[in-house]
Chains A and B, each alone.
Chain A
């Protein structure tokens, strides 16, 4: 086990900068998730840690050792790929044993480790099968098993669940979590799925355009997003954003728009707001319908989605569509104009030009 330290990591492909000056410490034994939309540089970052891509600038350390020039096989890492990357002509046992054989591990030891891993993953009776005879979930277990048997310092996962169907994905997610709790190996996990990031990560790094937007425990990225991008990326359905005008009345910041007037608590008075701001409020922090005018917002209902555990109400505030997640037993009519209260403790305010969080 080891800590992984990235210092000023940059990767350029010709003119294109895929990863731009990233610095982060991946703590020993922790599960760290790199999350972001496709093309944000998360996979490139992971591949640089693996040694599959050269680093243009910066330094990667695994433990105390600088590994920039160390080939993948000597970095003491194991990687699980999105499309499993199993050797199609080898059976499950040999797929898992291949790396150990190349390291001249004793035969009995290979047997022991492979069976141990297979047992842990519930694929013991599949050891003689070829990858093509396995289901997607079983293949992914083999890929994970191949990583486990090596007993590496660091696990690297590159979107390991995105080829699985929804139900299996949830199941494998829990299994990976359980596995990590047992093994406690430092893990770097890349995904574009914020739910996976939230559920699996001890810490998550939200990335965009090759830059880390926020690196924090999952709950913090949800409660205190560093900027509008993180706010919109973490949480489902995504946070609503709409423009407002900021003024100060009676020493309290006030945000006004066509159908709302939001009065912030005096503790925010010290924050100097630009005259135009973006208000962010999560669907689950809207409630109603209500009648009182203050700290509520009026919208025209355009779509209703009944999910059983929640009722999603889509509507327009001026030109902007927003969504609210309400109690499923509330009666809301299509095309009606309703008013929803906003939980002011969870309200976010962003700078429209820099997109940084103001409140």
Chain B
């Protein structure tokens, strides 16, 4: 890099570092606190551990064992998986069908329907609770996993469809011409051509949806209720804050457990994440 470029990039890099620090320092504090004993947490701040970082002794994974075994976070973790994975998969899957229809098929009312879809993104989901909950109760969906899958799918569909649609609309028309001459039906074109090409967009929508559902508390609280056999991680942590508000070692360990999976998902799919966002926003 030439000096001039370096100079012009410096403010940018500085800003990025500052933001990264603002995000990372509390997380680091969280991590360190979660592996310290209750007495040392009460006795000194987490930043005091650095001088004796390598002498060892002070750290243990006891807190994690505690939250996962005794506080039922292990069960909640499984529940979160049972909620997030199917809900994300269903909404991404349904959204890609809808997106293909909006992007490449012609039917009457298409524009209006698409406007309604985009409009639906603006509606706060809190507004939907009152009309939907009675229906859920009547159908026996409340408190069940299929019920919450359905809810998350519905809430996620507008944005997911919109994002995938904008990507699919950017696929060159000539590929569809070619496929139709090759003899592919619209469904075949969707499976064999559109879906494989759209992997970056699908992956980024998948990540978005997954993170949103994983971190969701409100929808789960409304449609699942607080029973430990169905409660996701977010709800268990909220309960911990209420019941064990003073036990920082448990809260921090629990918080870290809930962060672990999103981090894994993000880092393993991040190349799609960046590519997908670019591909969706910049056509061509």
User: What is the minimal beta-carbon distance from A188 to any residue of chain B, in angstroms?
Assistant: 14
Say which residue of B174, B183, B193 sits within 8 Å of A103 (CB atoms).
B183
A355 to B193, CA, bound (A): 49
Query: Chain A residues with Cβ under 8 A from B182's Cβ?
Result: 73, 98-99, 102, 146
Say which residue of A73, A78, A89, A98 sits within 8 Å of B197 (CB atoms).
A89
The answer to whether B193 and A73 have CB atoms under 8 Å apart is: no
The answer to whether A102 and B183 have CB atoms under 8 Å apart is: yes
Query: Chain A residues with Cβ under 8 A from B179's Cβ?
Result: 87, 98
Q: Counting chain A CB atoms within 10 Å of each CB, which of B179, B180, B181 scores highest?
A: B181
Query: Chain B residues with Cβ under 8 A from A79's Cβ?
Result: 177-178, 181
Check if A77 is an interface residue, CB within 8 A of chain B. yes
User: What is the minimal beta-carbon distance from A149 to any residue of chain B, in angstroms?
Assistant: 11
Check if B56 is an interface residue, CB within 8 A of chain A. no
Check if A83 is an interface residue, CB within 8 A of chain B. yes
Query: Chain A residues with Cβ under 8 A from B180's Cβ?
Result: 51-52, 71-73
Which residues in window 170-210 of B have CB below 8 A to A? 172, 174-175, 177-184, 188, 192-193, 196-197
0/1 interface trace, chain A 41-55, chain B, CB 8 Å (1 if under): 000000100111000
The answer to whether A81 and B174 have CB atoms under 8 Å apart is: yes
Check if A85 is an interface residue, CB within 8 A of chain B. yes
Query: Chain B residues with Cβ under 8 A from A102's Cβ?
Result: 182-184, 188
Which residues in window 136-169 of B have CB below 8 A to A? none
Kindly report which residue of chain B lies nearest to residue A150, judged by CB atoms: B182
Kindly report which residue of chain A lies nearest to residue B193, judged by CB atoms: A87
The answer to whether A83 and B174 have CB atoms under 8 Å apart is: yes
Contact-residue bracket for chain A: 20 to 34
- For chains A and B in complex, what number of residue pairs have CB atoms within 8 angstroms? 56
A98 to B193, CA, bound (A): 10
User: What is the minimal beta-carbon distance from A299 to any residue of chain B, in angstroms?
Assistant: 47
Query: Chain B residues with Cβ under 8 A from A266's Cβ?
Result: none
Check if A14 is an interface residue, CB within 8 A of chain B. no
Check if A308 is an interface residue, CB within 8 A of chain B. no
A206 to B93, CA, bound (A): 49
A258 to B236, CA, bound (A): 99
Kindly report which residue of chain B lies nearest to residue A80, judged by CB atoms: B178
A146 to B177, CA, bound (A): 14
Query: Chain B residues with Cβ under 8 A from A47's Cβ?
Result: 177
Contact-residue bracket for chain B: 10 to 19
Query: Chain B residues with Cβ under 8 A from A82's Cβ?
Result: 174
Query: Chain B residues with Cβ under 8 A from A103's Cβ?
Result: 183
A51 to B179, CA, bound (A): 12
The answer to whether B188 and A83 have CB atoms under 8 Å apart is: no
User: What is the minimal beta-carbon distance from A104 to any residue of chain B, in angstroms?
Assistant: 10
Kindly report which residue of chain B lies nearest to residue A97, judged by CB atoms: B182
Query: Chain B residues with Cβ under 8 A from A78's Cβ?
Result: 181
User: What is the minimal beta-carbon distance from A15 to any residue of chain B, in angstroms?
Assistant: 20
User: What is the minimal beta-carbon distance from B181 to any residue of chain A, in angstroms?
Assistant: 5
Kindly report which residue of chain B lies nearest to residue A87, judged by CB atoms: B193
A88 to B172, CA, bound (A): 11
Say which residue of B172, B183, B192 sits within 8 Å of A73 (CB atoms).
B183
User: What is the minimal beta-carbon distance from B106 to any residue of chain A, in angstroms?
Assistant: 12
A265 to B231, CA, bound (A): 102
The answer to whether A83 and B181 have CB atoms under 8 Å apart is: no
Query: Chain B residues with Cβ under 8 A from A83's Cβ?
Result: 172, 174
Kindly report which residue of chain B lies nearest to residue A94, judged by CB atoms: B192
Q: Counting chain A CB atoms within 10 Å of each CB, which of B172, B179, B188 scores highest?
A: B179
Query: Chain B residues with Cβ under 8 A from A88's Cβ?
Result: 197
Query: Chain A residues with Cβ under 8 A from B193's Cβ?
Result: 87, 89
Query: Chain B residues with Cβ under 8 A from A71's Cβ?
Result: 180
The answer to whether B175 and A85 have CB atoms under 8 Å apart is: yes
Query: Chain B residues with Cβ under 8 A from A50's Cβ?
Result: 177, 181
Say which residue of A52, A89, A98 sits within 8 Å of B177 (CB atoms).
A52
User: What is the minimal beta-carbon distance from A326 to any residue of chain B, in angstroms?
Assistant: 44
The answer to whether A72 and B181 have CB atoms under 8 Å apart is: yes
Kindly report which residue of chain B lies nearest to residue A99, judged by CB atoms: B182
A87 with B188, Cβ < 8 A, contacts A50-B181, A73-B182, A78-B181 known: no
User: What is the minimal beta-carbon distance from B275 to any residue of chain A, in angstroms?
Assistant: 14
- 24 A–B contact pairs at CB < 8 A? A47-B177, A51-B180, A51-B181, A52-B180, A71-B180, A72-B177, A72-B180, A73-B180, A73-B183, A73-B184, A79-B177, A79-B178, A79-B181, A81-B174, A83-B172, A83-B174, A85-B174, A85-B175, A87-B178, A87-B193, A87-B197, A98-B179, A98-B184, A102-B184
Given contacts A51-B181, A87-B197, A98-B192, 4 further A-B contacts (CB under 8 A): A52-B177, A77-B181, A79-B177, A89-B193
Chain B residues with a Cβ under 8 A of chain A: 172, 174-175, 177-184, 188, 192-193, 196-197
